[in-house]
Amino acid sequence: MLHSSIDRVAHATPPAVAQRIRGLSDRAIAWIFVAPSIVLLLAINIFPLIWTIRLSFTNFRVNRPNEPVQFVGLRNYLNILTDEDIWLTMQATAHFLIWTIVLQVLIGFSLAYLINKKFRGNDLWTTLIVLPMMLSPAVVGNFWTFLYQPQIGLFNYAVGFLTGADPSSFSMIGDTSLAPWAIIIVDTWMWTPFVMLICLAGLRSIPNSIYEAAECDRASNWRQFWTITIPMVLPFLMLAILFRGIENFKMFDLVVQLTGGGPGSITELTSINLKREAFEKWRTGYASAYAVILFVTVFGLASIYVKALNKVKQR
């Protein structure tokens, strides 16, 4: 059947085309197959990047397309790098980034370590723990705003129950000192399962024979943990940190839904600030320079990280 189909296609190919294809080298045919992907990559990734870099040196505003575009040199970059508000935004992002990674790695690894032990209902617990990761960030942001309600929120009630404080005496998303922690808690709740899954893959990849050899050498559990488990899970942990670090540096949807950057601008992360500059103030050139600064930062960090990851893998 297959043979006859191929024969039919071969016979249906016009002789001139068939002659041309027969004359192509393997390399040329490979290029023909790869070309659509390369063209797509250039159109979707490379061209917008180059265009953004070009716009970052201009005063272009996308809501005023008929205005003449002027070349302003490095003015956009200088304005961003001397703006105290953007500096505060960077600090808010750093606070969010550092605490989410620390908490997610600690809790994620601990959960993976527990789940890796064989016990009754192991699979059910894994499924339950992984559930938050499968939800949409918009949905998570929305229902956590209800959980954080001072009057009816379950979170406030639980804190009140455990500490004895009045649940309506504090507002997680309305208080400037609590709001940064509110977004950290939600992101940790949502993405810890992701770190857990990566750590679990790492833990399950360690052959039992290594632990058995360590047992023969009478190594304690503590020693086995630090000399076998941690070094062998480290590449997986680093991968998880890389993914979460880059994702959280660009965090937008969850925080917008939860706090909208407020109260004031205390939870306004860089991507929210960038969106405001680009699509609320319509300063396209300025926002492009801002995007280039963020891109270089993430690219630089990712380069170091990939190098470190390769080194750990080679060990």
Per CB under 8 A, residues contacting other proteins are: 77, 81-82, 84, 87, 90-91, 93-94, 293, 296-297, 299-301, 303-304, 307
Identify the bridge partners of residue 71 per DSSP, sorted by sequence position: 58
Phi, psi for 58 (deg, rounded to 5): -125, 170
Task: Return the structure tokens found at 121.
Answer: 């209902």
Strand, helix or coil at 71? strand
* Closer to other proteins by Cβ: residue 152 or 304: 304
Phi, psi for 123 (deg, rounded to 5): -65, -40
CB-CB contact of 301 with 293 (8 Å): no
Q: Taking the complex as a whole, how short is the minimal distance between the CB of residue 200 and other proteins, in angstroms?
A: 30
Q: What's the distance, Cα to Cα, between the start and end of the chain in Å?
A: 52
Residue type, 34: V
Task: Return the structure tokens found at 261.
Answer: 């950057």
Taking the C-alpha atoms of residue 238 and residue 302, their distance in angstroms, rounded to an integer, is 11
Q: Taking the complex as a whole, how short is the minimal distance between the CB of residue 3 and other proteins, in angstroms?
A: 49
Taking the C-alpha atoms of residue 141 and residue 248, their distance in angstroms, rounded to an integer, is 15
* Closer to other proteins by Cβ: residue 139 or 296: 296
* Closer to other proteins by Cβ: residue 44 or 81: 81
Q: Taking the complex as a whole, how short is the minimal distance between the CB of residue 299 and other proteins, in angstroms?
A: 6
Q: Taking the complex as a whole, how short is the minimal distance between the CB of residue 297 and other proteins, in angstroms?
A: 6
Q: Which residue has the tokens 């068939």?
A: 18
* Closer to other proteins by Cβ: residue 65 or 264: 264
* Closer to other proteins by Cβ: residue 149 or 267: 267
Q: Taking the complex as a whole, how short is the minimal distance between the CB of residue 93 and other proteins, in angstroms?
A: 7
